[in-house]
Amino acid sequence: MATKINNNSRKHLANAIRALSMDAVDKANSGHPGMPLGMADIAEVLWNDYLKYNPNNPNWANRDRFVLSNGHGSMLLYSLLHLTGYDLSLDEIKNFRQLHSKTPGHPESHVTKGVETTTGPLGQGLSNGVGMAIAEKTLAAQFNKKDIEIINHHTYVFTGDGCLMEGISHEVCSLAGTLKLNKLIVFYDDNGISIDGKVDGWFTDDTAKRFESYNWNVINNVDGHSSEELIKSLEKALQSKNKPTLICCKTKIGFGSPNKEGKESSHGAPLGDKETKLTKKVIGWDYGSFEIPKDVYESWDKKEKGSNLEDEWNNNFKIYKERYPKDAYEFERRISSELKDNWILKSQEYIKACNEKKENIATRKASQNAIEAYAKILPEMIGGSADLAASNLTMWSGSKDIKEFFDGNYINYGVREFGMSAIMNGISSYKGFIPYGGTFLTFSDYAKNAIRMSAIMSLKNIFVFTHDSIGLGEDGPTHQAIEHINSLRDIPNTTVIRPCDTIEAAIAWKYAIENNYGPTCLILSRQNCEFQERTNEQIALSNKGAYVLKDAKNLDVILIATGSEVGITMNAAKELEREGINTRVVSMLSTEIFEKQNDDYKEEVLPAKIKNRISIEAGSTSFWYKYVGLNGDTIGIDSFGESAPGGELLKYFGFTQKNIIDRVKLMLKK
């Protein structure tokens, strides 16, 4: 329920946001003042009266989540964090957009306390918000009891015209309606302006009707500068039982600016000293640059209120702990992102079992087996697929669709590769879950922007990508492109693992689950892969990303292979040995992991004195010269392929035992 605050007082509090935003953008001579000026009244009502948070503890489990999807409005969020009492000083506000400041151009979760997600490209913040709402609903269903609740909160998102033009927004919002995420409330800042000018005519659809068709509760034509209308809208939104809510707010970009209000000139450039002074005069803000009066600070300060809210929750959780000690322990473990005590032992037991079975199966099937084993240990694993569960094999015997079972662990995303991946970012940011999602490798391009954001935020997400035969297969280049693996490897802070058999698949999943430093992309084959015999020492070394799978004395040549090409490389190496050519085979399941090893280990695997090196991977070759050298050789594909059965394509593109042997002999002749 909203606090009874005089409208003039509300406007005055909102003007503190406006003043700080204008001053910071002007000082930086860079930024976007228009949105903070336009949405300040909405923010004031939400943050003063409805949003549940504690500035003393930005990570309190039952806080409401607030996401700024239109990241150009970053100064609105920074102003709110500063005014309400988060650890964001006035000096940092003055340092807006500067190197190593806590106030970068767009909000970044790993930089500024109180920022829930790194906004990224338009629509991605909204997608993260959908993920957070999914996480809230699912975690609540898994841990709340009939007699006591420990998770019950909302996710609020600020969006603009641009957000609702992006395709990803509609991918995720249609899913949000399907999943009936009633605790998701989105404010649409309908100011009719983009950086290019008025957007009249850019939309031919009716946004309100479009969201109604997505099964959303739509509150239309709200005056975004009227606290009364905003309060009424929020009260109505909070009553929704089975639908997310879109509150369409009519606002004026650059509100209060005598010469730039309602114009694109206030969107992405400072107002300037003269216009800032005029704007402050118009809105009645009679204070100097970066000056906030004491009474305004006192009215905004939420440290005491936030502590009281969290104390109330702590008392509630204490009762929960007494009644349900096992559940309480599990809840605390999960939101702190700790793995179970028996994880190491159980995962090692599974790897040992794989070694004993020696199965010749596709790595996608090996991946499914690993999910089956590991998900039984870790209930926080929440899977999903972009309409390709049967091809990616991301479901296991315990998979439960969250649409049907609120306490479930699987999301049928539909054909939403980008949306799936960005929602996973939201779920991971929320804490309490380890999300994984699958699609075809070629569709990783749709997802790549979200993978990149996952990497920036160092989120534990597991992306499952399958490919056919040599990367092309019967479907041709539309489905099996050859350049994707290397492009994924180029994303900083991202680990790409391409296992060659059941052992490496089990180790890949173990690594991905334990990886706290960014996303992991698993590249899996759809054709059977021959099991490779290993010693216990080799199994242990496979954790290092690359290891010697087959060795010989007095080396003549090193063959570096990855994934489904390891089997054929091993067969070629055995034949070379019979012909008296001493051959080492290195299985390079992850170059990122290998690069993290010390120089001694790298030298041990790839001794510098051995110049004769050939890489074998059914993808583009340029990446591999860092390992084979300019005088080395690569067997790969640097063109788009053909559509044909896999066996024919292997021969056509040279992925045969004979070609590997011929290339080795040619190299040794030189």
| Cα–Cα distance for residue pair 610/555, rounded to 1 Å | 7
Angle at 112 between CA 106 and CA 116, to 5 degrees: 75
| Cα–Cα distance for residue pair 525/553, rounded to 1 Å | 32
Two structure tokens written together for 220: 């239309």
Beta strands in 326-429 (DSSP E): 381-385, 410-412
- List alpha helices for 239-338, DSSP H: 273-283, 294-300, 303-323, 325-335
- Residues ≥6 apart with Cβ < 8 Å to 553: 582
| Cα–Cα distance for residue pair 340/348, rounded to 1 Å | 14
| Cα–Cα distance for residue pair 94/228, rounded to 1 Å | 33
Choose among 183, 139, 195, 121: nearest CA to 157. Answer: 183
DSSP 355-368: HHH----BHHHHHH
Choose among 460, 212, 502, 195: nearest CA to 339. Answer: 460
Two structure tokens written together for 448: 């790549």
In degrees and rounded to multiples of 5, residue 168 shows phi and psi of -60, -35
| Cα–Cα distance for residue pair 187/39, rounded to 1 Å | 10
Q: Evaluate whether 497 touches 508 at the Cβ level (below 8 Å).
A: yes
| Cα–Cα distance for residue pair 638/618, rounded to 1 Å | 9
| Cα–Cα distance for residue pair 117/129, rounded to 1 Å | 9
Q: Evaluate whether 564 touches 500 at the Cβ level (below 8 Å).
A: yes
- List alpha helices for 182-263, DSSP H: 207-213, 227-238
Per-residue burial over 227-255, b = 16 or more CB atoms within 10 Å of its CB, e = otherwise: bebbbebbeebeebeebbbbbbbbbbbbb
| Cα–Cα distance for residue pair 74/80, rounded to 1 Å | 10
Write the CA distances from 407 to 134, 403, 482, integer angstroms: 11, 9, 39
| Cα–Cα distance for residue pair 383/463, rounded to 1 Å | 10
Q: Evaluate whether 249 touches 240 at the Cβ level (below 8 Å).
A: no
Active site includes 380? no
Q: Please count the other Cβ atoms lying within 10 Å of the Cβ belonging to residue 554.
A: 5
Q: Evaluate whether 460 touches 516 at the Cβ level (below 8 Å).
A: yes
Torsion of the alpha carbons at 154, 160, 164 and 166, rounded to the nearest 10:
-110
Determine the 3-state secondary structure of 561 from DSSP: strand
Given the residues 171, 264, 417, 565, select the one marked as catalytic.
417
Choose among 275, 102, 244: nearest CA to 169. Answer: 244
Which residues are known to be catalytic?
417
